[in-house]
Structure 1
């Protein structure tokens, strides 16, 4: 399983399946929305897509990602599972957003992205865009330090969009980068249980 530095790795970033929040239900907090029945079906289909076992399964601490990973972990029971801080980007303070729906949060979401301030922290429990990018870079550095050749990472849409941004522009950090990121989020959305290759992890890790 040990991977020499020169050997290519296979890294798969996988967005969680459909959650109750995705279909408009209120969420107590950012972490606890479970999968819907459709989400569970997507999770089982994801497990079936693997043509070979990963060497490591990584999961976000958020429930919907852990549930999505569960069928894959069951299929490959001998593969270790680790929880990494690859949870969703929480840019709105959970204190303000508890027990709200996506539609109820819409004015706050629009105001945040219209401001496009990479350093803004909305309040307790929130993080800035800059801090989220650094979490993604830290994930890439952890991948680089791992001896595993094949890693499946069950994560979230914003994290995967950030990976795309950093793969294309490793130095991304300013207001223009944030606007470019959000444009991609709107126009190149990552669907539930979509896979994204992590082939550019070395560039992201060294950014």
Structure 2
């Protein structure tokens, strides 16, 4: 029989599986990527009342804006002040360019001797046929989908070729299952996207659909913000320590940007 141990070892070099050991992580830092060129384009499109967002590349390849790079550097400076005993042991990022660049700039600026690992389960929600469309664009070009989205709500609506928020939550549950097997004392930083951070809260806190959608309606995840969960024992449930903190940006004179997605989230 062919020995495939080398293949398994290679696979274990990617994503969270690289650190799988016996006990659980004790701290989880969730970072939204810095402002991206896509964020800027989407906001401009909504304000201009146009149907299509003129992004420079496919979603996975959209880079940080200049402001986004400044935000990532400011985040790195702030996190670099963390005592060695409390700095992340592992940094894992969505493979999307804006998240990966944020992670790399942050780690380099902080001076941490860490390699950024990539995990596709942390990628942004897939929008399918609605990709690059503003809400007006969806209502105009796919009125049936607009009606179905309003009827089902954001948690369960899945656009053709895309994902619902519930689909993303399923990915994150598998990420957390691996976090529960990390070595004792592990502090993990995950660099991802606004919807992903909302859904981490949904999963980690056991929120109801209403609680999740109420949260999403009143809060927008800021670019380069930090959300922190802790569990000192390394086992059991997580506790939300802080949410959506971006004070480190204002303190360093860097713009704080919001770039919220569609706020119409509740089923009708």
TM-score norm. by structure 1 comes to 0.78
Greater Rg, structure 1 or structure 2? Answer: 2
Change (3 A) 1:122 1:157: same
Aligned to 2:224: 193
Q: How does 1:144-159 map to 2 (within 5 A)?
A: 144-147=180-183, 149-159=186-196
Q: Distance in 1 between matches of 2:224 and 2:100?
A: 12
- What's the C-alpha RMSD, in Å, of the aligned pairs? 3.0
Residue in structure 1 matched with residue 31 of structure 2 by the alignment: 14
Structure 2 unaligned spans of 5+: 1-18, 43-53, 239-268
Q: Distance in 1 between matches of 2:236 and 2:195?
A: 20
> Structure 1 residue 182: deviation in Å?
3.1
Between the two proteins, the alignment pairs up a number of residues equal to 192
Consecutive unaligned residues of structure 1, counting only runs of 5 or more, are: none
State the alpha-carbon separation in 2 of the partners of residues 117 and 78 from structure 1.
Answer: 39
The structure 1 segments of at least 4 consecutive aligned residues displaced by more than 6 Å after TM superposition are 1-4
Distance 1:42 1:110 in 2: 34
Q: Report the counterpart of residue 130 of structure 1 in structure 2.
A: 166
- Classify 1:49/1:187 alpha carbon distance in 2 versus 1 (closer, same or farther; 3 Å): same
1:19-168 equivalence runs, <5 A: 19-24=36-41, 26-27=54-55, 28-50=57-79, 51=82, 52=84, 53-74=87-108, 75-76=110-111, 78-84=113-119, 85-90=121-126, 92-93=127-128, 95-97=129-131, 100=132, 102=134, 105=137, 107=139, 111=147, 112-116=149-153, 118-124=155-161, 126-147=162-183, 149-168=186-205
State the Cα distance separating 1:198 from its structure 2 match.
Answer: 2.6
> 1:126-173: CA deviations, max 9, x gaps?
123322111121121121112261111101100111112223326x5x
Contact between 1:21 and 1:101, CA under 8 Å: does it hold in 2? no
**More displaced stretch, 192-201 vs 53-62:** 192-201
- Residues 66 and 187 of structure 1: is their aligned pair in 2 closer, same or farther, counting only changes over 3 Å? same
Contact kept? 1:33, 1:63, Cα under 8 Å: yes
